[in-house]
């Protein structure tokens, strides 16, 4: 005679569900014992992820500032070339005396023919290819010489004489315009350099080496004021 299986009785409505024996044997304190380490591990993982994200964002910012320095440096070099070209054009005008025209032309051509990087901080690939020993004078010194020649030659009286002639007046206006743009470009370049150096001086960038092996950018310091000095004739 076949035995019938014992019927499975459903729990009464509202009665607590039976607890499995392997869970009941662990006791109520077991869940609290492993919950603490799990929460700590998850918290540490989240902190590490946030720290990694912050470091990555900071490294991107450093790289972006380096690119801004190089971009503003290229703009500055373009404006320096434009200023020298305008000086050559002014020297070719017939309103300047021969001696002054020769001084301006010589200084402007020296600026146009200058070799080597604009700033020798080894930040851009062009400066890495250049040998600093090939140049006798820095670009800043050459450009400052051109500024001093223009400031000496273009006195208030000379400017008035040049402005009286349409051709030389237009050349003088182009020179003043390019000189002003060059001053702004140099200012922006040095501002970007200061921002980069300030960020690279913070402890996260220094400790984590977020700037890599990139050298510290340097400012471009030169005499860029071509405002004529007051002469004895102009002094009351």
Spatial CA neighbour of 152 closest among 107, 88, 198: 107
The tokens for 136 are 């006798």
- What would the pLDDT profile of 206-221 be if each residue is shown by its tens digit? 998 888 889 999 999 9
Q: How confident is the model at residue 82 (pLDDT cuts 50, 70, 90)?
A: very high
DSSP 133-200: GG-SS-HHHHHHHHHHHHHHHS-HHHHHHHHHSHHHHHHHHHHHHHHHHHHHHHHHHHHHHHHHHHHH
Give the predicted TM-score (pTM) of the model: 0.76
Q: Look at residue 38 in the predicted model and tell me its pLDDT.
A: 76
- What would the pLDDT profile of 122-150 be if each residue is shown by its tens digit? 887 655 555 544 457 899 999 999 999 99
User: Residue 101, class by beta-carbon neighbours within 10 Å (0-12 exposed, 13-18 middle, 19+ buried)?
Assistant: middle
CA distance 49 to 43: 10
Across 71-75, average pLDDT = 96
Across 146-169, average pLDDT = 94
Q: Of 14-28, 82-96, 105-119, which gets the smallest average pLDDT?
A: 14-28
* Residue given tokens 């090939």 in the structure block: 134
CA distance 28 to 49: 33
50: DSSP letter: H
Q: Which residues of 168-188 are buried (b: 16+ CB within 10 A; e: fewer)?
A: bbebbebbbebbebbbebbeb
Q: Look at residue 31 in the predicted model and tell me its pLDDT.
A: 57
CA distance 84 to 77: 11
Number of separate helices (H) and strands (E) present in the chain: 8, 0
User: What percentage of the chain reaches a pLDDT higher than 70?
Assistant: 78
The tokens for 17 are 């569900």
Residue 28 has pLDDT above 70, yes or no: no
Q: Look at residue 104 in the predicted model and tell me its pLDDT.
A: 96
Could you tell me if 72 and 192 are in contact, meaning their C-beta atoms sit under 8 angstroms apart?
A: yes
Query: Domain-by-domain residue ranges, the chain?
Result: 52-128+135-208
CA distance 66 to 22: 63
Q: How confident is the model at residue 158 (pLDDT cuts 50, 70, 90)?
A: very high
């Amino acid at each position: 005679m076949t035995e019938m299986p014992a019927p499975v009785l459903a729990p009464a409505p509202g009665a607590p569900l039976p607890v499995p024996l392997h869970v009941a044997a662990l006791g109520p304190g077991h869940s609290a014992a492993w919950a603490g380490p799990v929460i700590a591990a998850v918290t540490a993982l989240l902190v590490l992820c946030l720290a990694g994200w912050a470091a990555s964002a900071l490294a991107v910012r450093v790289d972006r500032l380096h690119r801004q320095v190089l971009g503003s440096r290229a703009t500055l070099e373009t404006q320096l070339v434009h200023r020298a070209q305008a000086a050559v054009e002014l020297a070719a005008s017939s309103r300047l005396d021969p001696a002054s025209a020769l001084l301006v032309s010589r200084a402007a051509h020296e600026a146009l023919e200058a070799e080597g990087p604009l700033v020798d901080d080894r930040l851009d690939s062009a400066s890495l290819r250049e040998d600093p020993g090939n140049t006798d004078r820095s670009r800043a010194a050459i450009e400052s010489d051109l500024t001093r020649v223009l400031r000496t030659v273009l006195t208030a009286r000379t400017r008035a004489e040049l402005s009286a002639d349409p051709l030389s007046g237009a050349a003088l206006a182009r020179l003043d315009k390019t000189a002003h743009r060059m001053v702004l470009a140099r200012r922006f370049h040095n501002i970007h350099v200061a921002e980069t150096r300030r960020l690279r001086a913070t402890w996260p960038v220094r400790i984590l080496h977020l700037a890599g092996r990139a050298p510290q950018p340097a400012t471009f310091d030169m005499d860029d004021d071509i405002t004529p000095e007051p002469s004895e004739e102009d002094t009351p």
